[in-house]
Structure 1
Amino acid sequence: MQHVTPEMQACIDQCLACYKTCASMAMNHCLELGGAHVEKQHFTLMMACAEICRTAAHFMLIGSPHHKHVCRECAEICTECAADCERIGDMDECVAACRACAESCWEMAA
């Protein structure tokens, strides 16, 4: 069984924070503002980001050796989500959470 290192625990925490932020902002902030915030491509990306973050945390928590692959995908999706949220604007909390998670997941994927 794989031991959860301090670096892995930090990544789990970042993933869960990003999951919480993306899901909450999509379902509250974006739905309330409408317009570009609820365009299919953006909204789907936010939901995908939330789900891959939750999945990456889960893979690390259960000690799956596949967590590196999942973390790599998580980092890519978080990077894309951060850029899209920045493009749309008024989503600084999501941009910051996605960037922090991406950075942590890139380290786990290495």
Structure 2
Amino acid sequence: MPPEAKSSGDDTPVCCPLYHEAVEMIGRRWTGAIVEVLLQRHGSLRYTEISHAVPQLSDRLLSERLKELEQRGVVEREVSPGPPVQVAYGLTDMGRSLEPAVRELKEWARRWLN
């Protein structure tokens, strides 16, 4: 039985563990903003471009979040040989597939949080 179909034996709702994992991943502090900025570009952005797009985000947290997203397969790191060596970040197919969910969340925010 898939995790989302599990039941506690009564009518008590049960949270799907995969849904929970997805919300925890994208809901980490600043992760959603990073993904949203990369979705806007439809390509890769250099570290400093991401940093300027989300000015409240510290360098330490940006670096951590990019590493986490890369490890999860959402972001890919592209290194162009130099000099100077340039590093850019872009969404993988997995990351780009978040676009409908991000778009819907933005619409919800505009409607209810404005």
TM-score with structure 2 setting the length: 0.27
Q: Where is the strand percentage greater, Structure 1 or Structure 2? A: 2
Give the structure with the larger helix fraction. Answer: 1
Structure with the greater relative contact order (CA < 8 A, sep ≥ 6): 1 or 2? 1
| Pair member with larger Rg | 2
TM-score by length of 1: 0.28
